[in-house]
Amino acid sequence: MVDEGVTATDEVEMTAFDDDLGVGDAAGPAWRSPVAWVGAILLFLVASGGPVFWARAELADVTVPLVSDIWVQAVLVVAAGLVLAFSGDALELLRLDKLALGSLGAFLVILLLSAAWSLDGTRTVEQWILLAFASAAALFGGASLDRGQVLTALFVAVHIGIAISAFSDLRDWPIAIVGDDLAGVFGSTDLMGMVALLAAATTVMLMVVVLRRTPEERLAIAEEKAARGGGGGFRMPSMLTINKMRRAATMAQRGQPMGGGGKSMTPRSPGQAMQYRTMARGRRRRAGRLAKVRSSALLRLGITALLVGVLVLDGFLWWRSQSYGALFAVAATAVVMLVVGLSLPGAGEGGRRAAAGVVSVLAAAGVVLLIVFRETVADWFDRDGTWSGRTTLWDGVLDVVGDRPIHGFGFEAGTGVAGFGTRSGFLQVLLAAGAIGLIALVWLMLLVLRRAASAAIMRPDPLGVWVVGMAAYGIAANVNESFVSAWSLPWLLLVFALGHAVARREARFDDVTL
């Protein structure tokens, strides 16, 4: 459906109007979006660092790090190329937010410039090219794919690794076990735990989408309550509201979405108008398919049961990994999503925003207590006070950074002089590009979070909050792990969120599928 207030009759009329315009084929091939979706799956699959790396290692002996292997790099390039080639006219929308594009571009340029003084200039340029290519694909994919497509692409990608890892645990593959804990095909228990928790989060979000009541169901419930005399607050919409909804739907078909103040936004180019029409038709088709799932109680029950089983598997594999590092990122993301969800406009907005303030204060207090009593908390999880050596590593990185505090040692080359990893994306960038790079990264992350929250407020629904969660996870995961690279799911999710938020903010045209 196109809008919660648009009736089936309106949809038929708008479809006829659209067909009369002859935009069905002119708006672009129907397979363009599915191909970009497949590319997104492959991109997430490579970035997860599991199945593709494992398959390459099994096929042949690799004498170089897998991220430097030409065949693994080729898979990443193909995946990013598919998304870029079939992402439609996303650039038409993205280029309108010069601040967002400039912030991402400035950060990437700083990393590229670090090659001039890098300890390993060749590696810096090589990995930077891959990072820039993957980031561009994520940005364009976020702008062209709707939120449901990104969610399902992530769900499929991470669960491919989950399924292979579960099989490896069942068959007792030597490579899958580190000590007594499960690493699966991801090479480390920390990465296994991170992917398992991320898989669980996507599964929960899909359950929300499947179980969420449709607008028609909510309207029917309100009418039934009103008929019984039980109230329910049902009111017939005014003619002004009905006419406004009809006008918004018709203008969306013409490629003229309604702005925030109710004024039309005329497409700035023929390409942008074509993109609006393509988005409207494609999402209406997907809305129809989802409506069939939601209208069948048996089918909905079956899908829910299947997703519950998948969720149990995700949780079991996380427990088998005995990795608690990713818990912080998931908890922080959940808090941000809760605060944003409570702050959305709607009924009871004042009370919900007050609750959001309370949650924010409690979360901040929790972080302070975690820092003060970190050794006690570590004992609860059977860890030492250094959190698996992280604090020791961070002290060492800060000592090394003192030699080049402004410009660093070069992207993906700093660990060579440090002699160890950083276990933090922020320290990774500080070591690679100095204070200049760190400032650019923090600015970019805060901008993405703000843009995502703005897009969620424009269209308040669960998937809008989920996009905010993508941005928050990309930030939180980099606190205690290094995830600023082409081979990183948190980084790609952060850039996907930026692409989606910018496109929706500029177009004033949001998803109509979910």
> DSSP for 63-103?
-S-GGG-HHHHHHHHHHHHHHHHTSTTHHHHHTT-HHHHHH
Whole-angstrom distance, CA of residue 265 vs CA of residue 22: 22
Could you tell me the CA-to-CA distances from 245 to 3, 119, 134, 262, 449 in Å, in that order?
Answer: 8, 60, 39, 10, 30
Q: How far is CA 366 from the centre of its chain?
A: 25
Contact status, residue 434 vs residue 400, Cβ threshold 8 Å = no
> Which H, E and C letters describe 172-203, residue by residue?
CCHHHEECCEECCCCCCHHHHHHHHHHHHHHH
Residue 89 CA from chain centroid, whole number: 20
Tokens 């929790």 belong to residue: 366
**Where are the alpha helices (H) located in 90-146, listed in sequence order?**
90-94, 98-113, 121-144
Relative to beta strand 181-182, strand 177-178 is: antiparallel
Residue 98 near residue 502, CB atoms below 8 Å:
no
Distance CA 470, CA 445 (A): 11
pLDDT at 443: 97
Numbers of helices and strands, H then E, in the chain: 22, 2
Q: Are 28 and 278 in contact (CB under 8 A)?
A: yes
Pair of tokens at residue 45? 């699959």
Structure tokens belonging to residue 328? 């912080």
Give the span between the Cα atoms of 489 and 447, in whole angstroms. 19
Instruction: Quote the tokens at residue 497.
Output: 């969120």
pLDDT value for 264: 44
Whole-number pLDDT of residue 279: 63
CA distance 293 to 211: 10
pLDDT recorded at residue 284? 65
Please state, in angstroms and rounded to a whole number, the distance separating the CA atoms of residues 287 and 307: 20
CA 321 to chain CA mean position, Å = 23
Give pLDDT, residue 84. 93
Q: Mean pLDDT, 10 residues at a time, over the chain (514 residues)? A: 38 33 33 80 92 90 88 94 86 86 96 92 94 95 88 95 94 86 91 94 90 61 63 48 52 47 52 65 64 70 91 95 88 93 84 92 91 81 76 87 90 66 90 95 96 86 90 94 92 95 63 37
Q: Are 378 and 387 in contact (CB under 8 A)?
A: yes
Measured between alpha carbons, how far is 329 from 336 in angstroms, rounded to an integer? 11
Cβ atoms of 503 and 452 within 8 Å: the answer is no
Q: Distance between CA atoms of 198 and 91, rounded to whole angstroms?
A: 29
Q: What is the dihedral of CA 473, 474, 479, 481, to 10 degrees?
A: 110
